[in-house]
Amino acid sequence: MDLRLEGPPEPPRDSAALAAELADSVTAIVVPQGPILFAGERSDSALRLFAVAIQDDDGWAPVPAGEAEPELLAAFLEERLAPGSRYTLFSQGVRVGTAIQTDPGGAAEGACGPVPSVTARMELLPSAAGVTRFLALAEQDLETRPYRPYRQLESTYGQRTGSIQAANTAIVTVDAPWPPSVLETRRDLQIKNLDGVEEPALVGTFLYRDQLAVGPAPEQAYSLFYTAFLRAGGIYRPDYLWFRRYREGGKAAPRLHSNLDLDGDGKDELLLEVFGEADWWFQLESFRDGQWVTLFTSPCAGGSGPEQEGAGAPSP
């Protein structure tokens, strides 16, 4: 003999109700829609664009990470970085060309690890044919910017001498230890057109007991970075000034990647590459309301940031 108790069968559910239930059980992937800032590196005729940050209501935020957010990254690449997308290229703060995306995009090694990246072909001004580093924005994310005269700048003897003069001023300003030779601590010097000013500015990186690369450094080391315009009397004075004692916050050695007026206020934002002991990252600086402020820092940035001094408006 077999005895069983069975309840009534469940009532049938229509397909719409079942679909709604399934949709509620899956977390929706929301792809950020703000303008994307790219850093570009050229190799021969190919251009690689690396997504740096994305603009939202609160400013600039990190892009989806390749390791931590694989599903969001896949959706981001499909929706925002489709083959055929067009990007406006900038160097020295001016438009120098257009890039057209040639691949579906993917995660490539960039600041803080894998980041969204695409390969593109370039159409450049003849005067910018030798440029290897760019900033880029998607064409649909900005108003049309006209081309302006462009020229690559090489340092003169007076500018190289002025860079040491500006470093001396900066060392006194921040009360940093004097190196045996200020010249020997200069790791990078760029001559840039900033803020639309005709007279070029100096952009210098000086490192005491350190190199401009990822790797360890002694606690006694420090980094000094500045931009400086030529002032009355032929004197270069630092405007944006970065100073960091490694013993207080760990290694952070910056150099300028590119400059561009992102918000249209007539003052260029500065995109810095910063090298730490184990990682490198980007930092975006802007002059607003009479002082320098950090708009964005990559997630893996080490330490508490630089000690900064700002001396009024950056341009003369």
The reported pLDDT for the residue numbered 255 is 96
Q: What is the phi/psi pair of residue 166, to 5°?
A: -65, -35
Contact present, 94 and 148 (Cβ < 8 Å): yes
The reported pLDDT for the residue numbered 159 is 96
Range from 67-71, 186-190, 221-225, 249-253 carrying the lowest mean pLDDT: 67-71
Cα 96 from chain centroid (whole Å) = 18
The rounded percent of the chain whose pLDDT value lies above 70 is: 87
Mean per-residue pLDDT, 213-224: 94
Contact present, 162 and 105 (Cβ < 8 Å): no
Q: For residues 61 and 233, which has the higher predicted lDDT (pLDDT)? A: 61
Residue 315 has pLDDT above 80, yes or no: no
Please write the tens of the pLDDT for every residue from 79-130: 999 999 999 999 999 999 999 999 998 988 889 888 999 999 999 999 998 8
Range from 16-20, 139-143, 177-181, 190-194 carrying the lowest mean pLDDT: 16-20
The reported pLDDT for the residue numbered 236 is 94
Contact present, 139 and 84 (Cβ < 8 Å): no
The reported pLDDT for the residue numbered 312 is 46
CB-hemisphere CA count at 13 Å for 28? 6
The reported pLDDT for the residue numbered 25 is 46
Residue 32 has pLDDT above 50, yes or no: yes
Range from 18-27, 103-112, 199-208, 272-281 carrying the lowest mean pLDDT: 18-27
Determine the 3-state secondary structure of 202 from DSSP: strand
Residue 133 has pLDDT above 90, yes or no: yes
Residue 307: its H or E element: strand 307-310
The rounded percent of the chain whose pLDDT value lies above 90 is: 60
Closest to 267 measured CA to CA, from 293, 244, 305: 293
Please write the tens of the pLDDT for every residue from 225-269: 999 999 888 899 999 999 999 998 899 999 999 999 998 888 999
- The DSSP code sequence of 247-289 is HHH---EEEEEEEE-SSSSSS-EEEEEEE-SS-EEEEEEEEET
The reported pLDDT for the residue numbered 57 is 86
Mean per-residue pLDDT, 47-69: 88
Contact present, 73 and 116 (Cβ < 8 Å): yes
pLDDT band, residue 314 (cuts 50/70/90): low
Predicted structure pTM score? 0.87
pLDDT band, residue 218 (cuts 50/70/90): very high
- Cβ-Cβ contacts under 8 Å for 232 (sequence gap 6 or more): none
The reported pLDDT for the residue numbered 220 is 93
pLDDT mean across residues, the chain: 87
